[in-house]
Amino acid sequence: MAVESCGDFYALPEDCIANALSLTSPKDASRLSLVASTFRSAAQSDAVWERFLPSDYRQIISRCIDGPDSLLVKSKKDLFLYLCEHPILIDSGLKSFSLEKWSGKKCFMLSARDLYIVWGDTAQYWAWISLPESRFPEVAELLDVCWFEIRGKINMNMLSPATNYAAYLVFTCKSRTHGFEHQPAEACVGVSGHEAEKRTVCLDPDGAQRQRYQIVPRRIGLLYHRLTRLHGQQQDNVPPIEQNTQYPKPRDNGWMEVELGEFFVKEGQDGDLEISLMEVKGGNWKSGIIVQGIEIRPK
């Protein structure tokens, strides 16, 4: 239907249009605000953006370490956009809270201090340091461990219902990593008391590139095999390629992330979501990564 034939709709009171917009999504409301001045005015109203904010947003921002009054915003739309672009620290700075811009779904990051890290309080194996680019006061630097294990959990009722989420390890490297080159880790994500999804995860920042160079055409591979046998040379002991292995990807802020698993939050679902990452089978020592936390966000 042409825009010109919608005059009767434009004649509706602004609060009626605002109510209709509040039943859409932040993305749709932003697009519709470009249609006409009536829509633009209605799309700015608190009634619209109050619906886009999580129902428990007041309770969450009351846990902000700087207090809710530190959020200097004038309207509900400003608050929504602020929470999309500026994760706030809650629960004594152990977690961060933000919103996904296009849907208003809740996002959390569990800081390294909020995780269970095996040997994490032993200075010989892990160091707690500060990095200006981290959103948390402390991050965990892996110095040298043989048994690598990190666990975290969050109650499902903190997350947005009817939403597919994924968990990501957020980390960086201060120097060259060691021990993760050829030995993948195992990630598990699931609700406590239920079977968890398992994934193979590579924590080597160059793992994806390294794996690509190991894939050669079949004919070249056969030729290489024959030559090495002819000259009495042994081929490198390269582990088989795992097709479903998750590799680190860069984030916009200079950190890296690797997906640990995904899960769907049902309406009214309770219980703890448990996340783990382990590499304990290789017997090799590992070092070089710096863990900021585990982020849980809609996928």
What SS3 state is found at 128?
Answer: strand
Question: How high is the pLDDT of residue 231?
Answer: 47
DSSP label of 114:
G
Q: How many CA atoms lie within 13 A of 99 on its CB side?
A: 25
Question: How high is the pLDDT of residue 20?
Answer: 74
Tokens matching residue 118: 């095996």
Which residue, among 180, 234, 241, has the nearest Cα to 216 in the 3D structure? Answer: 241
CB atoms within 10 A of CB 158: 16
CB atoms within 10 A of CB 39: 21
Say how far apart CA 120 and CA 26 lie, in whole Å.
Answer: 41
Question: How high is the pLDDT of residue 242?
Answer: 57
Say how far apart CA 57 and CA 69 lie, in whole Å.
Answer: 14
pTM as predicted: 0.83
How far the first Cα of the chain sits from its last, in Å, is 34
Say how far apart CA 295 and CA 260 lie, in whole Å.
Answer: 10
Question: How high is the pLDDT of residue 137?
Answer: 97
- The series of mean pLDDT values per 10 residues for the chain, 299 residues long, is 51 69 75 70 82 95 91 91 96 97 96 98 97 97 96 97 97 86 92 90 81 51 46 45 81 94 93 96 88 97
Q: Which residues contact 28 (CB under 8 A, 6 or more apart)?
A: 21
Question: How high is the pLDDT of residue 291?
Answer: 98
Question: How high is the pLDDT of residue 17?
Answer: 73
In this structure, are residues 210 and 181 in contact, taking their beta carbons and an 8 Å threshold?
Answer: yes
Helix, strand, coil shares of the chain as percentages rounded to 5?
25, 30, 40
CB atoms within 10 A of CB 3: 10
